[in-house]
Structures are given as structure tokens and as C-alpha cells.
A = this chain, B = another copy of it.
Amino acid sequence: MNNIKFVEPHNIEKRSFELIQKELGDIILDPEKEPIIKRAIHTSADFDYLENLCFSENAIKNAKHAIKNGATIVTDTNMALAGINKKVAAKYGVNVHCFMADEDVFTEAEERGETRATISMERASKIEGPVIFAIGNAPTALIKLHEIIKEGKFKPELIIGVPVGFVNVVEAKELIMSLENLEYIVAKGRKGGSNIAAAICNALLYNI
């Protein structure tokens, strides 16, 4: 077929993580954060995630505890929803949900002149039991979560705050990091995306 020697598909992921480590050279990562940082790099081939991922003190511990207790993961895009490993999530009784495409979310957003992300976060804050947010797209989702949490009515177990972009994104992430007693994993700066949000969720699910 061709003369290139390809690595067998079942070995690709293992070999990829080895190559990432090789490129990191002497850098020693915090063992708890390591699978998350490496999976973000793996999903983007972008080593900026080595520097820009910020973790609150108990973010990972809290998230794993929540997963073991059947948390609901809420995303702000169907892309992030599609990227999260639902088979592994189901093992822990974890449900993954995105409100964005719901017809009534669209209608309410139109009526109130808000974004669908804002309405989705209001819906999510009514969920019973532990909740993890995986926000890879909408800064308005983070702005709304900041408001709801500030009011003291609701507290998620973790916010993965990794929207990507050039407008409102940096500021919205800073807002999340300014909250006291909130556990977060945030990609500081402009970078992130639904793929990064899903990768961080998967890294948590694979390393309970």
C-alpha cells in the first residue's frame, strides 16, 4: 500500500503519551495533574497546556470524589458532550448532559434576550446531586455560573473553565478563578475549546 511504517492503532495512545513525555524532557509534573495536562496536549498537540492549566487546590480530589458519587457532568456544547467517554462515565453512574440544543432553552433565551449558555447554566444549577461543569466554548456560561455561585444558592464540585477565544474569554476565566472556595481547572488565557473540555473530563474519568 505504501512504504511508511505505521504504529499499530492499538498502540497509538500509549506511544503518543511516551512521545509527549519525551518532549517534556526533565520536566516533572505533579503526578495528580500529569494525566490531565498530558491529555490536553495529546488532544491538541499544543504544549501551551503545560503552562496555562491552573488548578485550584482540591480540584482533582473533589472531582474524583464527585465522579465516584455519580456526579452529573454538564457541558456547554454538543461537541464536548460527544467527546466525553460515556461508557466510562456510566461505570460510575455519571450522566453527561448538555442543555444547549433543547428547544425550550432556545425559546427562553430568545424571550429573555440571553444566550442559550446562560439559560443552560440556570437549568444546570437546579440539578440534584454533585455537578461538574465542562465549559469549552461560552464565556457567558462562566459569567452566569460566577453570578449563581456568588449568590450562594448553588455550588458545583468542579468547574472546568476552558472556553477558547478572543472576546470575553480571558476575563470570564479570571472571574471563575476569583471565586473563593470554588474548585476549578482553568486554561488561563485565550486557549481551550470543547476538545480540551472533553479531554480533561476523560483524564479525570480514566484516572479515578
Interface residue ranges, A against B (CB under 8 Å): 1-2, 4, 6-7, 9, 11-12, 15-16, 19-20, 42-46, 77-79, 81-83, 115, 139-140, 143, 146-147, 150, 164-169, 171-172, 175, 189-195, 198
Contacts of A195 in B (CB 8 A): 79, 193-195
Q: How far is the CA of A22 from the CA of B108 in the complex (A)?
A: 35
Name which residue of chain B comes closest to A10, CB basis.
Answer: B115
- Given A44-B191, A190-B45, answer yes or no on A4-B77 (Cβ-Cβ < 8 Å): no
A166 in complex: contacting residue of B20, B146, B150, B190, CB < 8 Å: B20
- Given A166-B20, A195-B194, answer yes or no on A6-B79 (Cβ-Cβ < 8 Å): no
Tally of this chain's copies: 2
Pairs A-B, 4 closest by C-beta atoms = A45-B190, A78-B82, A16-B166, A19-B166
- Given A115-B9, A146-B2, answer yes or no on A42-B194 (Cβ-Cβ < 8 Å): no
A191 near B140: Cβ-Cβ < 8 Å: no
Name which residue of chain B comes closest to A194, CB basis.
Answer: B195
Q: How far is the CA of A20 from the CA of B79 in the complex (A)?
A: 23
For the complex formed, measure the closest distance between the CB of A123 and the CB atoms of chain B, giving whole angstroms: 18
Q: How far is the CA of A140 from the CA of B81 in the complex (A)?
A: 24
Contacts of A193 in B (CB 8 A): 43-44, 193, 195
Contacts of A11 in B (CB 8 A): 167
A45 near B166: Cβ-Cβ < 8 Å: yes
For the complex formed, measure the closest distance between the CB of A162 and the CB atoms of chain B, giving whole angstroms: 11
- Given A1-B147, A16-B165, A198-B79, answer yes or no on A191-B6 (Cβ-Cβ < 8 Å): no
